[in-house]
């Protein structure tokens, strides 16, 4: 295997995966003067289907941009196999996602800290959230103003957006002006990684500036495994156009390949559950049973209604309408194409016994699925709703020792009884919201689940047939203390049992956060850079004190 770089000319760091965390990490390392090689299997992100926010349903359904993973049959969902899209493109999943920006709740990160991820409490991570963002929602000591990632809000010109926020208040919840700030619970405007009408992915925010430094090299190739000398990682074996090559690392290797591909790469490199590795003829380098375990996700259902007035996006859901929207965006980067159409939201608790929100709402002024198919002819609207902290846990396992083979993904969705109670609450609370006066002039018949679905058994049957992934997998290489047998990385993201190898992506989350995962994934890349550089962690006592009062 000929090396791409001679050992004396090796970059300081090799990163596998140009996704949310990998791009942020590459930017911060090159900014510090380090030389970085970034390995990404996917190609360019410059197509209009990616860059136009309103076209978000297309890239996650295109083989060109998506790895095309799906789960094993899920026993508690009627044996269905669910799609598990992951970005196979520069920017990773930040280039194919819904662009929704949610940091998570303070208590999510405090839980991480208490579970063994010391140094990852909310007070610890808040400075990195602030460093990474340019927030265009006003001025707040809890928000950043000069980071690479632009955070904006939609204009909410469609009356249904404000009706949803008003209905939430009428149903008894507060208005929250900034769910990423002082209080998450309530209803208010949704935030998005959109800037000047374009998807502001990790590639746009971080990767392009990093490439301008001259210290970043991007290689398009399939990472096959991490290479070692003794117990120390020294590089990555890649397949580039059918040729097996080696990328040497002067200092360290970092895996930022997603919560699906990162555990796969660890196992292919001999790090994982020993018995499972031996089944595939892989020599065990470090017996870490936590690799590929602890897999978590958010499930959601779409509560859909017919609209009594022609105010939904259905007006534009035809060839002529889509063409007009696309043309305006191409020429001016304005109009409906400049929004992801998730412009209002809510975070609520499933019961008074829950101490912080465990249900999330995305409101959409159209009755449609993620694959772009409308649920019914005519005007309608929907809320995406689902529990945030499922107790179900799954696994990522090797299907083969061949690096080109997709792994076996089994979330074991809905395997915990509490998940069913929380989902039933989602259905009933959503009906309560849409039954408020704010929707009286708009709300027609319930398309799904449908008015006949009322009892627990009927609701459960609907969930079993219709629940879909919100595409937030995480947790498969979690942070913990070195003595924890199920931890994979220590609090500085070093893989336990070897040297010179770290993980920086959503794999390291001990527990899933309250909301979409793009923001905490980018934060992980930001914080990982300071760990790699040996810098003191960012801290701000005044901001930390303010953070302590957040819900």
Does 416 qualify as catalytic in the annotation? no
**Residue 415: which region, alpha, beta or left (left: phi > 0; alpha: psi -120 to 50)?**
alpha
* Peptide bond connecting 449 to the previous residue in cis, omega within 30 degrees of 0: yes
Residue that the structure tokens 């016994």 belong to: 353
In angstroms, the CA 52 to CA 123 distance is 35
Q: Where are the alpha helices (DSSP H) in 115-172?
A: 122-132, 159-170
Give one DSSP letter per residue of 199-260, joined into a string: E--HIIIIIHHHHHTT-EEEEE-EEEEEEEETTEEEEEEEEETTEEEEEE-SSEEEE-SHHH
In angstroms, the CA 290 to CA 303 distance is 36
User: Which tokens go with 115?
Assistant: 């579970």
| Residue 417 host element (H or E) | helix 417-434
Pairing of strands 133-135, 149-153: parallel
In angstroms, the CA 407 to CA 405 distance is 6
User: Which tokens go with 108?
Assistant: 């999510």
Q: Is 347 helix (H, G, I), strand (E, B) or coil?
A: strand
> Active-site residue among 111, 150, 362, 472?
472
Query: What are the residues whose beta carbons fall under 8 Å from the beta carbon of 212, sequence distance 6 or more?
Result: none
| Residue 547 host element (H or E) | helix 541-547
Pairing of strands 344-348, 186-189: antiparallel
Cβ(267)–Cβ(518) below 8 Å: no
Query: What are the residues whose beta carbons fall under 8 Å from the beta carbon of 51, sequence distance 6 or more?
Result: 45, 198, 199
In angstroms, the CA 324 to CA 304 distance is 26
Q: Is 397 helix (H, G, I), strand (E, B) or coil?
A: strand
Q: Which of 257, 301, 348, 341 is nearest to 465 (CA)?
A: 301
User: Which tokens go with 334?
Assistant: 């304005």
Cβ(176)–Cβ(186) below 8 Å: yes
Cβ(514)–Cβ(358) below 8 Å: yes
Cite the active site residues.
Answer: 472
């Amino acid at each position: 295997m000929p090396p791409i770089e001679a050992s004396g000319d090796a970059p300081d760091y090799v990163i596998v995966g140009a996704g949310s965390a990998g791009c942020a990490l590459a930017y911060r390392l090159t900014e510090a003067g380090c030389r970085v090689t970034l390995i990404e299997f996917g190609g360019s992100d410059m197509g209009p289907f990616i860059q136009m926010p309103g076209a978000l349903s297309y890239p996650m359904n295109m083989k060109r941009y998506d790895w095309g993973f799906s789960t094993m049959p899920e026993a508690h969902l009627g044996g269905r196999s669910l799609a598990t899209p992951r970005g196979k493109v520069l920017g990773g999943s930040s280039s194919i996602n819904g662009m929704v920006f949610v940091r998570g709740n303070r208590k999510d990160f405090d839980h991480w800290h208490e579970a063994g991820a010391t140094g990852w409490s909310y007070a610890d991570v808040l400075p990195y959230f602030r460093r990474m963002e340019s927030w265009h929602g006003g001025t707040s000591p809890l928000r950043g103003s000069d980071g690479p990632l632009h955070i904006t809000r939609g204009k909410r010109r469609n009356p249904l957006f404000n009706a949803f926020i008003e209905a939430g208040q009428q149903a008894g919840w507060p208005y929250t002006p900034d769910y990423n700030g002082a209080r998450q619970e309530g209803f208010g405007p949704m935030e998005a990684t959109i800037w000047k009408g374009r998807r502001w992915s990790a590639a746009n925010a971080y990767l392009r500036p990093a490439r301008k430094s001259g210290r970043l090299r991007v290689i398009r190739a399939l990472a096959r495994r991490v290479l070692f000398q003794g117990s120390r990682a020294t590089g990555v074996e890649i397949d580039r156009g059918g040729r097996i090559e080696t990328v040497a690392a002067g200092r360290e290797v970092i895996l930022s390949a997603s919560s699906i591909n990162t555990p796969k790469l660890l196992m292919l490199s001999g790090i994982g559950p020993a018995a499972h590795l031996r089944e595939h003829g892989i020599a065990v380098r470090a017996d870490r049973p936590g690799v590929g375990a602890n897999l978590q996700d958010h499930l959601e259902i779409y509560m859909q209604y017919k609209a009594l007035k022609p105010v939904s996006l259905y007006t534009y859901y035809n060839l002529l309408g889509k063409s007009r929207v696309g043309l305006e965006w191409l020429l001016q980067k304005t109009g409906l194409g400049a929004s992801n159409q998730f412009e209002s939201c809510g975070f609520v608790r499933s019961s008074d016994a829950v101490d912080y929100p465990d249900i999330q709402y995305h409101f959409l002024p159209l009755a449609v699925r993620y694959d772009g198919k409308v649920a019914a002819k005519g005007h309608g609207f929907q809320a995406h709703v689902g529990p945030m902290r499922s107790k179900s846990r799954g696994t990522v396992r090797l299907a083969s020792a061949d690096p080109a083979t997709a792994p076996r993904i089994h979330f074991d969705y809905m395997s915990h009884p509490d998940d069913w109670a929380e989902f039933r609450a989602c259905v009933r609370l959503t009906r309560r919201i849409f039954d408020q006066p704010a929707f009286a002039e708009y709300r027609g018949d319930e398309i799904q689940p449908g008015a006949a679905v009322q009892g627990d058994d009927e609701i459960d049957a609907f969930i079993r047939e219709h629940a879909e992934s919100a595409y937030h997998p995480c947790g498969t290489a979690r942070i913990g203390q070195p003595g924890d047998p199920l931890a994979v990385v220590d609090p500085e993201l070093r893989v336990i049992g070897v040297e010179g190898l770290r993980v920086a992506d959503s794999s390291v989350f001990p527990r899933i956060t309250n909301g979409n995962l793009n923001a905490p994934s980018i934060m992980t890349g930001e914080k990982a850079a300071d760990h790699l550089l040996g810098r003191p962690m960012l801290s701000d006592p005044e901001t930390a004190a303010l953070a302590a009062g957040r819900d």
